[in-house]
Every structure is written in structure tokens, then in C-alpha cells.
Amino acid sequence: MDNSTNDLREKLADLLDGVLPPEEKTALEKRLETDAELREEWEWLKTARRAVQLYGVQQLVKNSRTAMLQEQVRPVRSLGRHFRLVISAAATVILLLSAFFLYRYVNPQTEDMFAAHYVHYKLSSFRGINEPAQEKAYRAGAWPEVIRILETDSAATIRMQFLAGAAAMELKDYRKAVQQFRTVLTRNENEATRGFQDEAEFYLALALQALGDYSGALALLEKIRQDENHLYHDRADVSWIRQVRKRIH
């Protein structure tokens, strides 16, 4: 590497720093337009400067985050005694409430866990001219009637059985719901069909959970989660599965 090359490189660095005299700046910029090798040198230098600036921003973000976390735990000082007492009392209440909610979050009550995942089963808005009586009753929210119709029909379809299960869920009669959903699954297996299969699996998991049968619920939830094409795949999320699993151990 000769002296002129080194000199040129130093000039490029001066150009980068904005300290090159105007006449030299113009000459160097002209040369950059025609000299590909020099232009590449120039790009490398700019990349090095960009790297330093990026690093500076990264440090700023990290430091701001650290400061923010420290501010959150910094004690309150230089306030009046009365005000400090009020703040302390409020902080205690907040702390206790936070502890309570944290406990509830980490160890959710059965009903919380149920409420967080339960969704009312909604019939499609399309209604045929001869809508069956059970579906009419379901749309009207007449849950006992939905179940009664099923129980008096000796040729009940899988759809009717599922709706009776969904109605039982609304009535919080989880034993009856489990019975209906299991019937749906058994019939599908025996008849080699898939009528309301995904729906029955999801609601059966919920009903079992409500009854405290966490192993049964977990097996279904894991099955749903593993099947990306399952209608309820996204609902059976990892955090729910984790919560149910914790109930078993």
C-alpha cells in the first residue's frame, strides 16, 4: 500500500467527518463518481460509522429500559409525613391486591379459567324454511327446551346431541354436557363421520375442566393444539394448557 493510497483513505475519513476543505471535497466527490474501487472504500467507511451510531442507539435503549425498571422500585422520598403515610397505606393495598391478582393469575380459580376460555356456541345465521324446533329453541335461549326436545326424539341426530350439550353448558349442567359431547364423539367413531367433532372436543374439554377432570381436559386440549386444522386450534393456547397442566401436578 503506497502513501498516496493511505492519503486518499485519510481524506475519505475527513470527508466522512465533514472536515475536508471545500476544494478538496469537490475534487474527491468527483473522483468518487468515476472510481469504483474508491467508492467501495467510501461505502465501507460509511458502514463503519453506521455501525457505531446503531450501537449508540442500542445502548441508549438498553440504558433507558434499565433506568425505567429502577424507577419502578425506587422508594418515595422527601414527602410530608402525612402524605407518606397515605402513600404507604395505598401502596400496601395495591401490593396486597397485586399479590392477590398475581396469585389468581398464576393459580387461576377453576371458574376464572373457565370464564376466560368459554365462548357461547352460536348457530349459523342461516335459517332454513323448516328450521327444526330444537334449533329454534336454541336461538331463543330456551336451554331446557333444547334438552327436552333431544330427550324425546328417538332418532336424534349428532347435531341435536351437540346442541343439547351446548345448552347444558349454558345451564352449567356440565355432567349432562359431558354426556352429550361424549355421545357425539362415540357416534362419529362408530358411524365414521365427523359431525360436530371439533366443536364437541372443545366443549367437552371445557366441561371436563369445569368438573375438575383436568387430565381429561388436558388430553383434549393437547390434541386440539397439535392439530393446526382444528377449528379451535387457536383457542387452545399454550398458556391455557399450562394452567390446566399445573392443576394436575
Binding site for other proteins (CB under 8 A): 9-10, 13, 17, 39-40, 43-45, 47-65, 67-68, 71, 76, 79, 228, 237-239
| Least distance in angstroms from the C-beta of 54 to other proteins | 6
| Identity of the residue, 26 or 58, whose beta carbon is nearer to other proteins in the bound complex | 58
CB atoms within 10 A of CB 51: 10
- The x, y and z cell numbers of residue 133, run together, are 324446533
Torsion of CA 204, 210, 214, 216, to 10 degrees: -20
| Least distance in angstroms from the C-beta of 66 to other proteins | 11
Q: Which of 175, 163, 149 is nearest to 200 (CA)?
A: 163
| Identity of the residue, 136 or 233, whose beta carbon is nearer to other proteins in the bound complex | 233
Query: How far apart (Å, rounded) are the C-alpha atoms in residues 20 and 26?
Result: 9
Query: How far apart (Å, rounded) are the C-alpha atoms in residues 213 and 217?
Result: 6
SS3 content of the chain, % helix, strand, coil (to 5): 75, 0, 25
| Identity of the residue, 13 or 231, whose beta carbon is nearer to other proteins in the bound complex | 13
| Least distance in angstroms from the C-beta of 51 to other proteins | 4
Query: How far apart (Å, rounded) are the C-alpha atoms in residues 86 and 94?
Result: 12
Query: How far apart (Å, rounded) are the C-alpha atoms in residues 204 and 134?
Result: 20
Query: How far apart (Å, rounded) are the C-alpha atoms in residues 126 and 232?
Result: 21
| Identity of the residue, 56 or 141, whose beta carbon is nearer to other proteins in the bound complex | 56
| Identity of the residue, 48 or 140, whose beta carbon is nearer to other proteins in the bound complex | 48
CA angle 100, 106, 107 (to 5 degrees): 80
| Identity of the residue, 55 or 103, whose beta carbon is nearer to other proteins in the bound complex | 55
CA angle 19, 24, 29 (to 5 degrees): 95
* Sign of the C-alpha dihedral computed for residues 197, 201, 204 and 206 taken in this order: negative
| Least distance in angstroms from the C-beta of 172 to other proteins | 28
| Least distance in angstroms from the C-beta of 4 to other proteins | 17
| Identity of the residue, 5 or 215, whose beta carbon is nearer to other proteins in the bound complex | 5
| Least distance in angstroms from the C-beta of 231 to other proteins | 17
| Least distance in angstroms from the C-beta of 63 to other proteins | 7
Query: How far apart (Å, rounded) are the C-alpha atoms in residues 164 and 199?
Result: 13
